[in-house]
Amino acid sequence: MSTAKKEYKRITVKSLVEMKKNGDKISMLTAYDYSMAKIVDAAQIDVILVGDSASNVMAGHETTLPITLDQMIYHASSVIRAVNRALVVVDLPFGSYQSDPKKALRSAIRIMKESGAHAVKVEGGSEIKKSVKRILNAGIPVMGHLGLTPQSIYKFGTYTVRAKKEDEAEKLIKDAKMLEKLGCFGIVLEKIPAQLTKTVSESLSIPTIGIGGGKYADGQVLVIHDLLGMTHEFNPRFLRRYMNLYEEMGTAISQYVTDVKNTDFPSDEEQY
């Protein structure tokens, strides 16, 4: 039997479901700007998430709540201009979809029309059923997000692991099945026990993407600033840092400052 993985020229929501069926893991990372998205896309990532984590890592807010729809559209259109292969999914920000299905549809349409994105992501289960349905009915692909949902941080009170208790785990399983039935093409599972991820993943035909959800998810997602070690104060157990860019960039910038101060930069060769 051949073990060769199928090559995808362009990732679509259908490719992701196909990958799950074939047992191919899905890679997903965040990006919020043109230059970063170009690098991430060229590295053959499957999905780029324009996450509302932009509120934290790009704008310096403590939570994801303050970022606006206009700001998400700005980030998403910068990413779209860079991408040739990846599927680009954009978070609907807090307040743009929870209260009213009509508003949810208007927000999703604005993202699709004004940024050129391929899909939207929303946080929550049964509470947002009508909004999800409305967006899907308009032909817009929707990704769900269950477990730790950062837009509800003030309800949870902490960023600790979710659904450890049976009642919360049962609701999560029910919500995941509901999202699949409605027509969502995938679900992010954030910070839940690995065994619960396994149960959910095995009971769905659409892919699950874990962040702190363990190895049984059908794919994994991380915030790019965390993976590259640009953030250094955030150290959850699930995070693997592939670089220490905070230090490396700091060293390079200090060297530049020294060179300018010592008139070592620019050299004769670096001028006209």
Residues between 180 and 219 that touch ligand KIV (CB under 6 A): 188, 211
E strand or H helix that includes residue 53: none
Which of 24, 41, 46, 52 forms a contact with ligand KIV (CB under 6 A)? 52
Contact between 67 and ligand KIV by CB under 6 A: the answer reads: no
Q: How far is the CB of 176 from ligand KIV (least distance, A)?
A: 15
Please name which of 162, 144, 163 lies closest in space to residue 206, comparing C-alpha atoms.
144
- Structural contact between residues 89 and 69, judged by C-beta atoms closer than 8 angstroms: no
Residues near ligand KIV (CB under 6 A), total: 10
- Structural contact between residues 88 and 117, judged by C-beta atoms closer than 8 angstroms: yes
- Structural contact between residues 143 and 187, judged by C-beta atoms closer than 8 angstroms: yes
Contact between 91 and ligand KIV by CB under 6 A: the answer reads: yes
Q: How far is the CB of 49 from ligand KIV (least distance, A)?
A: 6
Tell me whether residue 62 or residue 166 sits nearer to ligand KIV (CB atom).
62
Q: Which residues contact 96 (CB under 8 A, 6 or more apart)?
A: 69, 103, 104, 107
How far out from the chain centre does Cα 138 lie? 22
E strands, the chain, in order? 26-30, 47-50, 87-91, 119-121, 142-147, 186-190, 208-211, 219-222
Please name which of 63, 64, 87 lies closest in space to residue 143, comparing C-alpha atoms.
87
Contact between 53 and ligand KIV by CB under 6 A: the answer reads: yes
Tell me whether residue 48 or residue 105 sits nearer to ligand KIV (CB atom).
48
Q: How far is the CB of 123 from ligand KIV (least distance, A)?
A: 8
Tell me whether residue 27 or residue 53 sits nearer to ligand KIV (CB atom).
53
Residues between 8 and 27 that touch ligand KIV (CB under 6 A): none
Q: How far apart are CA 217 and CA 214, in angstroms?
A: 7
Please name which of 127, 51, 131, 35 lies closest in space to residue 83, comparing C-alpha atoms.
35
Which of 76, 223, 227, 228 forms a contact with ligand KIV (CB under 6 A)? 223
- Structural contact between residues 121 and 144, judged by C-beta atoms closer than 8 angstroms: yes
Tell me whether residue 145 or residue 254 sits nearer to ligand KIV (CB atom).
145
Candidate list 123, 168, 180, 190, residue with the active-site label: 190
Q: How far is the CB of 190 from ligand KIV (least distance, A)?
A: 6
Tell me whether residue 101 or residue 213 sits nearer to ligand KIV (CB atom).
213
Stretch of 4-12, 47-55, 70-78, 152-160 contacting ligand KIV, by CB under 6 A: 47-55
Which residue in this structure is represented by tokens 């619960």?
Answer: 196
Contact between 92 and ligand KIV by CB under 6 A: the answer reads: no
Tell me whether residue 242 or residue 256 sits nearer to ligand KIV (CB atom).
242
- Structural contact between residues 114 and 143, judged by C-beta atoms closer than 8 angstroms: no
Which of 27, 31, 48, 51 forms a contact with ligand KIV (CB under 6 A)? 51
Query: Active site includes 190?
Result: yes
Catalytic residues: 190
Residues that bind ligand KIV (CB under 6 A): 30, 49, 51-53, 91, 188, 211, 221, 223
